[in-house]
Structure 1
Amino acid sequence: MTASSFPGGTSLSHLDVYTDAAPDGICGGSPHMHLVSTEAYVVISGEGALQTIDGDGFRETPLSAGAVVWFTPGTIHRAVNRGDLRVVVLMSNAGLPEAGDAVMTFPAEIVAAPDAYAAAASLGAEDGRAERASARRDLAVTGFETLRDAVVAGDRAALDAFRAAAGALVRDRAEAWGDLVRERPLAQAEQSLALAEAVASGSVTHLAGARVHQALPSVGERGFGMCGRLRTYDVTDEETDR
């Protein structure tokens, strides 16, 4: 992985939350959860909400310009767009979400079957991606509603089963996740510790290596993410020096 000094070993993207409605009439993204990474929203415009299912049950957090909210691994989340909701997304463990650290809340029988899950999650070729993104969102909302209704009724069995199935689904790919964590966030933390110790010992020679970096946004049409249309940013040092 190319080195990056971007703070915290995080990744950065600009998200325009989907504006089309799911079968329940709510506009927004595909409910899903991350198994290792923490995600943060910095709302830059519009109105909406974050619907979540976590250890405290189901809740809805209002979102408007200036709001900052983050959610830890295991939090099932659904971005709801109630008017021009645009968000800057910070994701811990850069590269890990792209390596499969997310499972959508498809119905239980799909999450339990790797081939069926892969088919439901795939966006396929360029043509028709918008329609397929909506279709997988609608399928994830169906499963989300089942989990939400059970949790609200005081039954956590479906949620526990989803988490177990999600873990089984990504277990094999997770073998490589440790390397991603060590190469970015852990390496940055260790470097910061070394610099702090150097300053404490009276050395500031590292300051001679100070540089400014600028992220390069992805070009062309924004990609189809789970929650909306994404503009990603390349925060690697070598490719973004100015």
Structure 2
Amino acid sequence: MSTPRFPGGTAVSGLRVYEWEAADGLHGGTPHMHTASTEAYVVAAGRGEVHTVTGQGAQAAELSAGTVLWFGPGTVHRLVNHGGLELTVVMQNAGLPEAGDAVFTFPREVLADREAYDAAARLSPDASEEELGRQARARRDLAMEGYLELVASVGAHGQEALREFQRHAAALVRPRVAAWRRIWQENVEREAELTRDQLAALARGEPGLMHDAALVRTEPRPGPRRFGMCGRLRTWQPRDGEPEQL
């Protein structure tokens, strides 16, 4: 039996939120939003907040061990670390966030220039840990610059200011959508089809997928946690030739 995917084609990662101080004196990660995927947080340890910007304006929600919350596409969000904040992150549409579904809140002039955006968002794959940390922090700081502008603009002009950012985001990801559709079909749609077929088998009184019942353990990737948008990430590696999902 090949390695089963996470239910519904989701992805799971362990996150230790950055403790870097930002321009507003708070400590935490890089503000961004997802254009097609819902994200969920299960807080494992520590204290903090998630700051969001939606059509209802800017809000802050407290995070502590046991907190579970989620938000859909178009929600600008930023994690703030008040001490030892660690999360399990569950992402819809595994493969899409890894393929660029997240758009950083860079300043308007960067969002309007695809080459400038890509250069600001990219971390050098062959850089040292120290250099990667420097690049990730510089990316966070640039996104904070645009985030603070966005929060002020939403406060002054309401939903239209957020919609302007969302339009920039849609324009940035538009060239990737064809590839995303293939990822979605091979992952999420495939999982939905398996459930459809299983329901049909059960309706016939047949076990269907139950014949393939198994317990699967997936090992963490070796080496240090990688630098993510909001903190240091631990991900899990696929097995048995399955495509990368985590």
State whether residues 213 and 237 of structure 1, in contact with CA within 8 Å, keep that contact through their aligned partners in structure 2. no
| Structure 1 residue aligned with 2:59 | 59
Aligned with 2:233 (options 222, 230, 233): 230
C-alpha contact 1:20 1:28 (8 A) present in aligned 2: yes
Contact 1:4 1:236 in 2 (8 A): no
Task: Identify if the C-alpha distance between structure 1 residues 96 and 236 changes in structure 2 by more than 3 Å, giving closer, same or farther.
Answer: farther
What SS does the corresponding residue of 1:33 show, helix, strand or coil?
A: strand
Comparing 50-59 and 199-208, the one that deviates more: 199-208
Q: Within 5 Å, which residues of 2 pair with 1:50-199? A: 50-124=50-124, 125-127=126-128, 128-199=131-202
TM-score for both structures, normalised by structure 2: 0.92
How many residue pairs are counted as aligned between the two chains? 238
Structure 2 CA distance for aligned equivalents of residues 53 and 6 of structure 1: 29
Q: Which of 203, 206, 210 is the aligned partner of 1:207?
A: 210
Contact 1:150 1:156 in 2 (8 A): no
8 A contact 1:23–1:138 mirrored in 2? yes
Q: Following the alignment from structure 2 to structure 1, what is the Cα–Cα distance between the partners of residues 148 and 197?
A: 48
Amino acid at match of 2:185: R
Aligned residue for 1:153, secondary structure, equals helix
Deviation per residue, 1:164-219 (Å, 9 max, x gap): 11111111111111111111111111111211121121111432211111122111
Q: Is the partner of 1:189 in helix, strand or coil?
A: helix
> How many Å separate the matches in 1 of 2:193 and 2:122?
37
Identical aligned pairs, as a percentage? Answer: 47
Unaligned residue ranges in structure 2 (runs of 5+): none
Partner SS for 1:51? strand
When the two structures are superposed, what TM-score results if normalisation uses the length of structure 1? 0.93
- Measured in 1, the distance between the counterparts of 2:72 and 2:195 equals 23
